[in-house]
Amino acid sequence: MNRVILIKYGELTTKKGNRKIFINTLYSNILKKLKDLDVNISKDMSRMYIEYDSTNQEIILKKIGEIFGIHAFSIAYKTETNIDALKEMLNLVLKENLDLEKNYTFKVETKRSDKSFSPNSLECNYIFGEHILKNFPNLKVNVHDYQVLVNVEIRKDYSYIYLNEYTGLGGYPVGTLGHGLLMLSGGIDSPVAGYLAIKRGIKLNLVYFEAIPHTSLEARNKVIELAKKLAIYGGDMKLIVVPFTKLQEEIYKKVPGNYSITIMRRMMYRIMEKLTKRFKALAIINGESVGQVASQTLTSMNVINSVTNIPVIRPVACLDKLEIIEISKKIDTYDISILPYEDCCTIFVPKHPIINPNLNQCLEMEKELDYETLIAEILDNLLVINISSSMENIYEDIL
Amino acid sequence: MVYLDYSATTPVNPEVLKSFEKVVREYPGNANSLHKLGMKSFHLLDASCKQVASLMGVSKEEVIFTSGASEANNLAIVGTVLKYKNRGKHLLTTKLEHSSILETMVFLKTLGYEIEYINLLPNGKIDLNDLQNKLRDDTLLVSIHHVNSEIGIKQDVNEIGKILKQYPKVIFHVDGTQAVGKIPVSLENIDLYSFSSHKIYGLNGIGALIKKRPIELEPIIHGGKSQTIYRSGTPTHALSASFAKALKLVLEDFDNKYNYVLKLNKRIREFLETMNDIHINSPIDSIPHILNISVKGIKPETILHALAESDIYISTKTACSSDKSLSLSVLELTKNADYARSSIRISLSFLTKEEDIDYFLKVFKEKINELRFMKGE
């Protein structure tokens, strides 16, 4: 087939020294994503080309639209690098992609990566423009206000022509920035935070705090569903289920109601810090948004955050709820998030949680708790579930 | 063997059986157990539920697995009546219902409920004017079959549902046991919908009640939350998975299967029309999978046994009520006791072969002639 998908790299083009790692990571991410789709991928320092079976075009385009590190992509027509072959291919491209009964304005934009190729780019624009004008009477040149941009990329062995470009997701290839641990609750914010962290190239594993029987298996299932959505962008990941019941009950029993959330969050961060070591993560990521709830005031954040030295990244910290919802709808997690199952943070909620907690008071209260033993016990009883975006197929041989 | 009793039960699709076996072997945990094995079963159950939901066009919270359609019908009716007891005591249904509905209604009558039967038009469809006339302020539930099991009459449940939407207090239950897998099903205007696995080439022992939100039900089997809060008992994750599989498979290549059965039905109808003293009870727009006929002067059981001698299997009335001597459905439709006393049901499937029909028609004619000859006709 003469069509390939041409991929333009995202922000990574600016990172000179690391470029190779970035491209290789993107390459392997694309390869993983398209593994069952019979594709052949080649790459150089500025482009990737995917040869594919045309019956899979739609699904491949969809999947490429889910990969971070891609600035733009298009369906390009591949031909030999000589003027006559390019002219012939131009005819085909325009016939296949335009309704030639209609009038269009166009512009030709030629790029030569092979600078030894003659004529030069500007001359090529004239040659191809003239060719189009001669053969397609309904197309008129307008280099300022055009409807169709005819891209011609001239390379050493093969050249490519393409019209439309799809916008890629941008961001960095997942994995280029190391590992992070996302605190995934089941609400609207944390999946969005995870998505944004993935966008910046962080490879995620997920942590879910669970307090069975106060929280239900449906709640866990909901988190698994959210995790599957994140895995579409972030690749395979682990969901670490933390059995939080005993510790949470201990807090509920011994800590004054207004401080219970503050102390609970401090305990969660302590556990997170231990988990970052075990799962080799360099950052904790969560869906905290400044001012949204009592534990997310700046005073609360100070008191809570002080239990750990690991960087805590809060991608949605400064987004409005509506902005967060908008992203959650885009990544298809909203409808799952709003299912009404209680999670750890919504059970035992005091009427008036403190918004300006005092660190010394927290430390006093924590003396009453045997939390180190309980945390050790928790860490011995983690449940790890492997999540893959293609998990819908795990029952393929049954359902 | 020529099996023409698919409306009684269907042979299990080997793929379905394979799923069942695999789950029984590899998913030993109780789906309600909190440990790893339990979780594994729970996730499979959940995925099965989701598959059934999506194939039926509802959400997974709206699927209640039951032991079959009879239980689903009982849960729909009794569960509604108990939950909404303050709304009234008036229930509407038809005389063409399956016994699991008719008998439930009779039972409720002994508890003081008032049951009324909606009139039928000569073609077997319910009289929509009569339905509207019979609806009252205290009408709690309307229960109507999608497809009648003996004759194959198809009700326009969507139209009925639209009418009932104007009465927001009335809950609309549809028994879809003979419809699912045979005709397209849309649940848009329906509150409760029953169907069963063993009518769609699945295993016996599981069915489902679709319960649309925000309808609530009082459970009739108590014991706390299981797959849903509406039905207790250890979740049957192996049966549920096999049911989801069966539903998926039966809906594949749907149009071709339907048209093929329609063709078979036409052949039988055309042949029977050339024979004397045979009355075709199924109206022409019945579903093609069911053909109900009456053979004048010969007892249906006699025909059934005569055909069975030649390894052909049909049924008299529905399998569930074979001990009674008269078909209420046929009587209700034809108003003719002779027809009702002599009706047999031939039910077809996409699995039925053309040669099966050749053989059946040949043997049927021979046997009828023989039986008539013996009677000295």
Angle of the A121-135 helix axis to the A83-97 helix axis, nearest 10 = 50
At B319, the amino acid letter reads A
Whether B43 sits inside 8 A of A224 (CB atoms) is yes
Q: Are residues B338 and B299 in the same domain?
A: yes
Pair (A93, A213) in one structural domain: no
Question: Distance (Å) from the C-alpha of residue B25 to the closest C-alpha of chain A?
Answer: 12
Q: Concatenated DSSP letters for B164-200?
A: HHTSTT-EEEEE-TTTTTTS----TT-SEEEEESTTT
Q: What are phi and psi of B180, to 5 degrees?
A: -60, 130
Domain boundary among B209, B228, B251: B251
pLDDT of residue A17: 72
Give the confidence band of B149 by pLDDT, cuts at 50, 70, 90.
very high
Question: Do B247 and B257 belong to one domain?
Answer: no
Kindly list the residues from chain A whose CB atom is less than 8 angstroms away from the CB atom of residue B54.
none
Which site among B19, B25, B27, B43 would you substitute to test the A interface, given the most A Cβ atoms closer than 10 Å to its Cβ?
A: B43
What pLDDT does residue B107 have? Answer: 97
* CATH code of the domain containing A310: 3.40.50.620
**Tokens standing for A230?**
């994140």
| Shared-domain flag, residues A240 and A143 | no
In terms of domains, do A116 and A216 share one? no
Q: Are residues B179 and B71 in the same domain?
A: yes
Residue B260 touches chain A, beta carbons under 8 Å: no
SS (H, E, C) A145-213: CCCEEEEEEECCCEEEEECCCEEEEECCCCCCCCEEEEECCCCCHHHHHHHHHHHCCCEEEEEEEECCC
* Cβ atoms within 10 Å of B365's Cβ, excluding its own: 14
Overall average pLDDT of the B260-270 stretch: 97
Residue B155 lies in a domain: yes
Distance CA A235, CA A8 (A): 21
Residues B309 and B359 in one domain: yes
Cβ distance of A395 and B34 shorter than 8 Å: no
B1 within some domain? no
A397 or A8, greater pLDDT: A8
Does residue B2 lie in a domain region? no
Question: What confidence score (pLDDT) does residue A118 get?
Answer: 87
What pLDDT is recorded for position B225? 84
Give pLDDT, residue A18: 79
Domain boundary among B208, B227, B251: B251
B242 and B274 inside one domain: no
Residue B326's domain comprises 253-374
- The count of domains in chain B is 2
Domain match, A118 and A228 both? no
Select the residue of B23, B42, B46 nearest A398 (Cβ to Cβ).
Answer: B23
ipTM: 0.84
pLDDT value, residue B375: 77
* pLDDT the model gives residue B270: 96
Taking the C-alpha atoms of residue B148 and residue B294, their distance in angstroms, rounded to an integer, is 17
Whether A115 has its CB under 8 Å from any CB of chain B: the answer is no
Average pLDDT of span B147-151: 96
Q: What is residue B205's predicted lDDT score, i.e. its pLDDT?
A: 97
Query: Is the residue at B5 inside a domain?
Result: no
Considering A170, A197, A213, which residue would you say is the last residue of a domain?
A170
**How close B152 gets to chain A, by Cα (Å)?**
30
Determine, for residues B34 and A221 on separate chains, whether the beta-carbon distance falls below 8 Å: no
Segment A280-294 mean pLDDT: 92
- If pLDDT is split at 50, 70 and 90, which confidence band does A322 have? very high
pLDDT score for A294: 80
A-B C-beta contacts closer than 8 Å? 29
- Same domain? For B44 and B88 the reply is yes
Say if B204 falls within a structural domain: yes
Write phi, then psi, for A381 (nearest 5 degrees).
-125, 30
- Say whether both B100 and B73 belong to one domain: yes
Instruction: Average the pLDDT over A386-395 and give the result.
Output: 73
Token pair for B187:
């649940």
Q: What is the pLDDT of residue B271?
A: 97
Distance from CA of A122 to the nearest CA of B (A): 56
CA distance A383 to B40: 12
B266-303 as b/e, with b when 16 or more CB fall inside 10 Å?
Answer: eebeebbeeeeebbebbbeebbbbbbbbbbeebebebb
Q: What is the mean pLDDT of residues B131-145?
A: 97
Q: Over the stretch A144-166, which tens digit does the pLDDT of each residue have? A: 999 999 999 999 889 999 998 89
Do B170 and B289 have their domain in common?
no
Same domain, B324 and B247: no
Q: Are residues A155 and A239 in the same domain?
A: no
What does the block give as tokens for A254? 């011994």
Residues B265 and B345 in one domain: yes
Q: Do A301 and A371 lie in a common domain?
A: yes
Mean pLDDT of chain B: 94
Q: B-chain residues within 8 Å CB-CB of A383?
A: 36
Q: Is the pLDDT of residue A389 over 80?
A: no
Amino acid letter, B349: S
Does a structural domain hold residue B358?
yes
Residue B179 domain-assigned? yes
Residues A120 and A7 in one domain: yes
Number of domains in chain A: 2
Amino acid identity of residue B205, one-letter, is: G
CATH number, domain containing residue B361: 3.90.1150.10
Tell me what pLDDT residue B128 has.
Answer: 97
**pLDDT per position as a tens digit, B272-299:** 999 999 999 999 999 999 999 999 988 8
**Mean pLDDT (whole number) for A220-235:** 93
Share of chain A above pLDDT 70, in %: 96
> Are the Cβ atoms of A399 and B248 closer than 8 angstroms?
yes
Same domain membership, residue A299 and residue A217: yes
Contact B42 A217 (CB under 8 A): yes
Task: Indicate if A208 and A158 belong to the same structural domain.
Answer: no
What was the pLDDT predicted at B53? 95
Statement: residue A370 has pLDDT above 80:
yes
- What pLDDT does residue A14 have? 62
CATH number of the structural domain spanning residue A127: 3.30.2130.30
Between chains, do B47 and A395 touch, taking CB under 8 Å as contact? Answer: yes
Q: Does the beta carbon of A383 lie under 8 angstroms from any beta carbon of chain B? A: yes
Alpha carbon separation from B315 to B4, B143, B151, B339, B351 (Å, rounded) = 8, 25, 12, 15, 18
Measured in angstroms, the CA of B349 and the nearest CA of chain A are apart by: 23
Contact A398 B42 (CB under 8 A): no
Q: Do A217 and B244 touch (CB under 8 A)?
A: no
Do A234 and A341 touch, CB atoms closer than 8 A?
Answer: no
Q: Does one domain contain both B23 and B155?
A: yes
- pLDDT exceeding 70 applies to what percent of chain B? 98
Q: Can you tell me whether residue B92 is helix, strand or coil?
A: strand
- What is the structure's pLDDT at B321? 52
Query: Which chain A residues are Cβ-neighbours of B241 within 8 angstroms?
Result: 395, 398-399
Q: Using a CB–CB cutoff of 8 Å, tell me whether A224 touches chain B.
A: yes
Chain B residue nearest residue A339, CA to CA = B61
Under an 8 A CB cutoff, do B46 and A221 touch? yes
**Does the pLDDT at position B229 exceed 90?**
yes
Place of tokens 């961060």: A269
**Given A104, A138, A170, which residue is the final one in a domain?**
A170
Task: Tell me whether residue B27 is in a domain.
Answer: yes
* CB contacts, 8 Å: B48 with chain A: 395, 399
Based on the fold, state whether residues B239 and B259 are members of the same structural domain: no
**One of B106, B121, B320, B337 is an active-site residue; which one?**
B320
CB A66 within 8 A of CB A233: yes
User: Distance (Å) from the C-alpha of residue B187 to the closest C-alpha of chain A?
Assistant: 22
Average pLDDT over residues B71-92: 97
Q: Are A121 and A85 in contact (CB under 8 A)?
A: no
CA distance A32 to A231: 12
Average pLDDT, chain A: 91
| Residue B5's pLDDT band (cuts 50, 70, 90) | very high
Range of the domain at A351: 179-395
Residue A355 burial (C-beta neighbours within 10 Å; 0-12, 13-18, 19+): middle
Boundary-marking domain end, from A170, A188, A222: A170
- Same domain membership, residue A216 and residue A285: yes
B42-59 per-position pLDDT tens digit: 889 999 999 999 999 999
What pLDDT band is residue A378 in, cutting at 50, 70 and 90? very high
**pLDDT range class, residue A12, cuts 50, 70, 90:** low
Element (H, E) at B145: strand B139-145
A20 and A136 both lie in a single domain: yes
The DSSP secondary-structure symbol of B72 reads H
Domain boundary among B251, B286, B319: B251
Q: Are A262 and A236 contained in the same domain?
A: yes
Q: Which residue has the higher pLDDT, A247 or A1?
A: A247
Provide CB contacts within 8 A for A372, sequence distance 6+. Answer: none
Per-residue pLDDT band for B199 (boundaries 50, 70, 90) equals very high
**Is B49 considered catalytic here?**
no
* Residues A104-115, mean pLDDT to the nearest whole number: 91
